[in-house]
Amino acid sequence: MPQLRTDIIDVYVFRRTAAGPAAVGANVEFLQLRRCKGALCNTWQTIMGHSHPGETAVQTALRELKEETGIAPPVLLNLWQLEEVNTYFLASHDAIVMSPCFAAEVPAGAEPVLNDEHDQARWVKRDHADRFFVWPGQRQAIAGIIRDILGSDSSLREILRVML
C-alpha cells in the first residue's frame, strides 16, 4: 500500500515586468529551473524541496528558495501560501505526495544564483505558462497565483500573505 508523504514543498517565483497589457498577470514572468540531477534531470521545474526534521512548510519554502536560487529578503518582496496543494503519485517511492505550494515575488530584473541541482534558469511569461509548465498541479498553482494573488479584486491576497 502506498505511503502518504507531506514533506515536499513547491515554490513558484514570479516577477512583474514593466507595464504590460491590462489583462491580469499579463506582465508577470514565472521562474523555472532545469534540474541536472536525480529523477527529474533535464526537466524544467519550480523550486521543490524536502522538509528537515522539525521544520515547518514555510521554513522549508524559505530555505529551499535561498538554497536553490540565492533569493532571500530583501530581494524576496513577498511570500504567500497558496490554497493549491499539489497531489501526485510517485511510483519510484510508492508514495502519494501532498505538496504545499507557495508564491514568492521578486523585483523586476531579479535573477537567481543557481546551486548545483540546476544548470539553467528561465523566465516564462504568464501567457506561455500552460505550454512550459507540464504538470497539471503546476498549471493549477499558476492559475491560483493569477486569481488569488495578482487579481485586482482578490479578497485572498492579504489572507494568504506570509509575514516575513
What is the count of structural domains for the chain? 1
Phi and psi torsions of 100, nearest 5°: -60, 145
- Supply the CATH number for residue 59's domain: 3.90.79.10
* pLDDT for the residue 158: 94
* pLDDT for the residue 39: 77
Q: Strands 8-16 and 95-106: what pairing? A: parallel
| Residue 129 to residue 142: CA distance in whole angstroms | 8
Q: Decide: 106 and 69 in contact? Cβ < 8 Å.
A: no
* pLDDT for the residue 35: 93
* pLDDT for the residue 31: 97
Segment (H or E) for 68 = helix 57-69
For 11, the grid coordinates are: 515554490
* pLDDT for the residue 23: 54
Phi and psi torsions of 33, nearest 5°: -120, 135
For 9, the grid coordinates are: 514543498
Domain range for 158 is 3-162
Q: Mean pLDDT per segment of 10 residues, for the chain of length 164 residues?
A: 95 84 71 89 92 97 97 95 91 92 96 95 89 89 93 89 94
Q: Which of 2, 6, 115 is nearest to 51 (CA)?
A: 6
Q: How many Cα atoms occupy the beta-carbon half-sphere of 128 within 13 Å? A: 11
* pLDDT for the residue 93: 86
